[in-house]
Copies of this chain bind each other. A is one copy, B any other.
């Protein structure tokens, strides 16, 4: 049983504060641009061919010549799914008949690409129909199905239109038939369909979806030779993945026995999200314990300060406990989005501040950093240090680019960012009976099934007062107090409030017209890593509120490497500058600059000159061209 659950998408409407402006950016820039990409009309971007793939698949099914065939990654279809999901969310916020018509047309193309038995995947419809379901390791058929199920749920919830939902119900039934009724062995090489089937189940109540999700989770890692045997049975491959690398795709052990977060980080958190959702749905204590163990493995030993995960580009993967190099980090945008999914589902099991803390950390830092401030370029990889000349250039740093590209051949991150930002309300607010939960501070209006409505006014993450007004109903308001705010003040109707504090949430009884004001600590602060992290011993990072800051060359004479922060030195938040980086607050820090020597090594104590170092929020980095960037700074007395 879930102790609370996400509110529906249409129960939150942002205002024009920080999150609302991001949603508008997605609507105005990202969604149209990404549609151009899907249609191969975006100049200078990698070829996508996604729409053409659906058209060609439809032709193939009708026995027509499938035009220029299939192009792209084996999971190319998922770009359309994620775009549609983002559109669905966006339509609930910004109704747009033209966009809806465009989406309907794409959905029609998708529907026409569905085979009569319910199968849907352009890669194995345009060609290689005999290869369907023969390469679960690499084929991404279940992955693509999962994303399209998510899009179908979202589009139905947003518009009431069930065209895509019916397509995906039929598709789910097809998968059920294959894997349950026909007892086909195996489970997906890339988890995603499990969490999507849970969403389908939540929306439709179809127990086949629940059963199928549970099936895929239950059999994962039981037959450790499944992928190897599957590989032996076929004479083709996608990339030639190592079927014996069971850690990469989390099939090294049954999910309930897994202890450490390992392998491909996106696969991992998508899997854990489904596990957490199922565990609270079915009250599966063993599964809940596994989720909690994996959560602790990530957040206590394998997560970057920015909420990034994946310490290496080799396999886009977790490595070992406390191995968190900044310059060669992977920290894929999608992985932090998936970490938010996981956190949000964990919150449904147990309302604990740490889950909301991690959601906030991942969102305001890695997820937002994944997109240029103008919404036009995207990072896939989000390192905590960037040194032009080495980053993006040395073979060990080739994945750590120094500038955001426009689009990627493997374009999972940009549409993932679009759907996450457009649906932020589901992560920000939750509900259970009389209680309305505020996990993240999200300005706008939220309504709850118990009849409560509230408005939230805040200029967070730059303003630190959040004002809730109960505009309808009454009940309990539960608000997460971020762990970084050691001090806070809560006023109800202007007076100090009575509240209880439990596990990082304050609980207050409220009634219509009540105002609840929460003021958090706006003092910039320094963060330290445990000395168990070899790469961070002696380093410090500057933060304010949920924002991790970084030092860029652009603000620091093009040289951040020779800067050291003064230990315990003053940190000063400058006034909000609406013209800087779409509006931001810089922090100045007492620092010293070490003399840069020509010699590679010297025995001369390098002179240190006191100076002021300037930091900007990490999410705003690399918006002024290629330059040095560093989050963790050496510290000196």
Contacts and interface: CB of A to CB of B under 8 A. Distances in A.
A573 interface: no
16 contacts: A303-B600, A311-B396, A314-B396, A319-B394, A319-B395, A323-B397, A327-B535, A527-B602, A528-B597, A528-B602, A528-B603, A529-B600, A537-B564, A538-B634, A567-B605, A567-B636
A592 to B, nearest CB: 10
A128 interface: no
A538 B636 CA distance: 8
Interface stretch (A153-161, A385-393, A612-620): A385-393
Contacts of A530: 596-602
A44 to B, nearest CB: 27
The binding surface of chain A is classed by DSSP as loop
A394 B323 contact: yes
B390 A534 contact: yes
Given A530-B601, A534-B561, A605-B526, A314 B596 contact: no
Given A484-B603, A528-B603, A602-B528, A385 B319 contact: no
B527 A312 contact: no
Interface in A310-335: 311-312, 314-315, 317, 319-323, 325, 327-328
A327 B534 contact: yes
Contact of A605 (B311, B320, B528, B599): B528
Interface of A: 299-301, 303, 305, 311-312, 314-315, 317, 319-323, 325, 327-328, 385, 387, 389-390, 393-397, 484, 486, 525-535, 537-539, 543, 559, 561-562, 564, 567-568, 594-606, 630, 634-637
A385 B325 CA distance: 14
B531 A596 contact: yes
A568 B603 CA distance: 11
Nearest to A361: B601
A621 to B, nearest CB: 16
Contact of A532 (B320, B529, B596, B635): B596
A303 to B, nearest CB: 7
A548 B562 CA distance: 23
Nearest to A530: B597
Contacts of A596: 530-532
Contacts of A533: 561, 600
Contacts of A630: 534
A529 B320 contact: no
Contacts of A605: 526, 528, 567-568
Given A594-B537, A634-B538, A604 B561 contact: no
Contact of A389 (B320, B325, B604): B320
Nearest to A484: B603
B320 A603 contact: no
Which among A327, A530, A605, A637 has the highest number of chain B CB atoms within 10 Å? A530
A385 B534 contact: yes
A526 B601 CA distance: 10
Contacts of A387: 534
Contact of A636 (B317, B528, B601, B637): B637
B603 A390 contact: no
Given A305-B601, A603-B525, A637-B636, A320 B534 contact: no
B323 A600 contact: no
Contacts of A322: 389-390, 600
Contact of A561 (B484, B525, B531): B531
Contacts of A567: 605, 636-637
Which among A320, A389, A529 has the highest number of chain B CB atoms within 10 Å? A320
A618 to B, nearest CB: 14
